[in-house]
Homo-oligomer: A and B are copies of this chain.
Amino acid sequence: MNKRVGKQTIETPSKPRIIATASIVGPKEGEGPLKDYFDIILEDDLNGKDTYEKAESSMMYTAVNEVIKKANFKEENIDYLLAGDLLNQLTSACFAAKDMDIPFIGLFGACSTMTESLAMGSLMIDGGYANHVIAATSSHFSSAERQFRFPLEYGSQRPPTAQWTVTGSGAMLLGREGNFPYISYVTMGKVKDYGVNDVNNMGEAMAPAAVDTIAQHLRDTGRTPDYYDIIATGDLGKVGKRITKELLLEHGFELKDNYIDCGDEIFEHERQKTNSGGSGCGCSAVVDCGYIYKNMLNGKFKRVLLVSTGALLSSTSCFQGLNIPGIAHAVAVEI
């Protein structure tokens, strides 16, 4: 059976369900406008650990265990964990998986990892390869800042286009049963390089990938933007969101008020000094698992398009003068 739709989109006719989600965030995210939607808000962003990397990994471990608990499952009911993060060699995901007795499929799409893992997980359910899987990702402001930018002790100034890496982890448990939000289509994205090389302007670097994936998804499915109650890009921030709207117009698609960006929503930028907005794998993860999923359960949103967006850079690639390509994967969720 061929489940391909158009050029780049996959249909999942068995409708893999998102049975439960869990989200955990740091103190700053817990003071933001979406605070009521998160399951766990940490008082200490070290989460009792002695390093930020261990703290991030412990957050993912907690999110995965929390989603298992919410669904009244046990670890042994989960066939696969599909997870990844921003740290070198997926330190956060690998060390979270180490303490679980669940087969592990490591994924990397930078901050697009929430929809990458959700997409691949839903294919494993739809194809009959698994009964239950968990898709998860995480990021941490302090582990990302010192890995990609500067030692925290410098107290570097941040330009207006800079974003604030979200401290958080989100996990989604997928299966076939129940009347839960389900995945109808998946559109895996291409790597797009429009020549941006400013590490303090990730929104501009990622916007072309978001545009390409959203436009392709709409062309492949024959849907228009207003089909969706919400189209949510991952972490383009205010700058990238504006570019995305402009570029999509050139493709003939007008995004209206149903278009949000998770990085724009998660902080109150003036008060919280988050400049262009939130970023990091954890950004779309906790907004999708918290705000969007819970509003699907209560009937406010019925059809959403999740489009997590990733900036594909390493400190090595930047030092060597390479640009920052972007990628975006889209997953349509409906109820």
Report if A131 contacts B (CB, 8 A). Answer: yes
Q: What's the least CB distance linking A117 to chain B, in Å? A: 10
Verify if A94 is at the interface (C-beta below 8 Å from B).
yes
Residues in B with CB closer than 8 Å to A313 are: 89
Residues in B whose Cβ lies below 8 Å from that of A91 = 314, 316-317
Across-interface contacts of A317 in B (CB, < 8 A)? 53, 89, 91, 95
Q: Are A3 and B129 in contact (CB under 8 A)?
A: yes
A157 at the interface (CB under 8 A from B): no
A307-325: which have CB < 8 Å to B? 312-317, 320, 322, 325
Residue of B nearest to A192 (CB): B98
A104 touching B314 in the complex, CB below 8 Å, given contacts A123-B129, A128-B1, A322-B95: no
Copies in the complex: 2
A86-124 interface code vs B (CB 8 A; 1 in, 0 out):
111111001101101111111111100000100010011
Chain A interface: which size bin? Answer: 35 or more
List the one stretch of A28-36, A183-191, A243-251, A282-290 in contact with chain B: A183-191
A316 touching B87 in the complex, CB below 8 Å, given contacts A3-B127, A123-B129, A190-B102: yes
Q: A312-B94, A314-B89 are in contact. Are A4 and B108 (CB under 8 A)?
A: no
Given contacts A128-B2, A316-B87, A320-B54, whether A108 and B107 have CB atoms under 8 Å apart is yes
Residues of chain B within 8 A (CB-CB) of A8 are: 79, 103
A80 within 8 A of B: yes
A130 at the interface (CB under 8 A from B): yes
CA distance A89 to B101 in the complex (A): 26
With known contacts A89-B313, A103-B189, A317-B53, A98–B4 Cβ distance under 8 A: no
Query: Given the complex, which residues of B lie within 8 Å of A98, measured CB to CB?
Result: 191, 193, 312, 325
**A126 CB within 8 Å of chain B:** yes
Question: Across the interface, do A94 and B191 meet the contact criterion of CB distance under 8 Å?
Answer: yes
Asked if A67 is at the interface of the complex by the 8 Å CB criterion, the answer is: no
Interface residues of A in 58-73 (CB under 8 A from B): none
Q: Tell me the residues in window 208-266 of chain A with beta carbons closer than 8 Å to chain B beta carbons.
A: none
**Could you name 18 residue pairs across A and B whose Cβ atoms are closer than 8 Å?**
A4-B128, A4-B129, A4-B131, A8-B103, A53-B316, A86-B89, A87-B314, A89-B108, A89-B313, A89-B314, A94-B325, A95-B322, A103-B188, A103-B189, A105-B116, A105-B188, A123-B127, A123-B129
Besides the contacts A53-B320, A94-B325, A106-B327, what 12 more A-B pairs have beta carbons closer than 8 Å?
A4-B130, A54-B322, A89-B313, A91-B314, A91-B316, A98-B312, A98-B325, A102-B190, A103-B188, A106-B116, A123-B124, A127-B128
